[in-house]
């Protein structure tokens, strides 16, 4: 089941708020309104994730449009899985995640991103944090291409 974490809903909401600020009439952009409804329900029901299949179509479309503007792979071009490591020292993904990354859904990719950011043990978060940061407009992420 594809899930969207509340932090990703919040990031998408903030993206759209910055991109489409309210006008003089204080009306919210459709993307902001759709994502705000999902965010509000998650907070109200004290849930961390929403089932992507049950999101209103406008919220899912807004989330996917935000996702399309985020860096795809956490790769920093230092891949230790090629040398036999089960987990890449550079990006923190498992060998299986590195190999299957192109076929993974956006929801699965974001779950991996969340996990490796929380763990914070990969070189992208310590030794090469500046390199990862400089490669992307989004702090803490690198490699803005869509390659594995």
Number of other residues whose CB lies within 10 A of the CB of residue 63:
28
Give pLDDT, residue 137.
45
Q: How far apart are the first and last CA of the chain?
A: 23
Angle at 130 between CA 125 and CA 133, to 5 degrees: 80
What distance in Å separates the CA atoms of residue 106 and residue 110, rounded to the nearest whole number? 6
Q: What is the mean pLDDT of each run of 10 residues along the chain (148 residues)?
A: 95 95 88 97 97 97 96 89 90 94 96 94 79 52 40
What pLDDT is stored for residue 131 in this prediction?
57
Q: Which residues contact 65 (CB under 8 A, 6 or more apart)?
A: 31
pTM of the model: 0.79
Predicted confidence at residue 129, as pLDDT, reads 65
Nearest to 66 by CA among 143, 12, 9, 8: 12
Nearest Cα to Cα of residue 72 among 19, 127, 147, 138: 147
Q: What pLDDT does 145 receive?
A: 40
């Amino acid at each position: 089941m594809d899930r969207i974490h509340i932090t990703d809903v919040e990031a998408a909401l903030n993206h759209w708020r910055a991109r489409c600020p309210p006008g003089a009439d204080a009306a919210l952009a459709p993307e902001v309104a759709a994502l705000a409804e999902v965010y509000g329900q998650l907070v109200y029901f004290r849930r961390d994730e929403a089932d992507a299949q049950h999101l209103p179509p406008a919220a899912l479309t807004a989330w996917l449009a935000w996702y399309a503007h985020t860096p795809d792979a956490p790769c920093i071009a230092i891949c230790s899985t090629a040398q036999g490591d089960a987990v890449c020292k550079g990006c923190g993904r498992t060998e299986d995640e590195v190999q299957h990354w192109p076929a993974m859904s956006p929801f699965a990719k974001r779950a991996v991103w969340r996990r490796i950011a929380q763990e914070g043990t990969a070189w992208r978060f310590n030794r090469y944090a500046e390199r990862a940061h400089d490669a992307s407009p989004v702090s803490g992420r690198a490699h803005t291409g869509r390659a594995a």
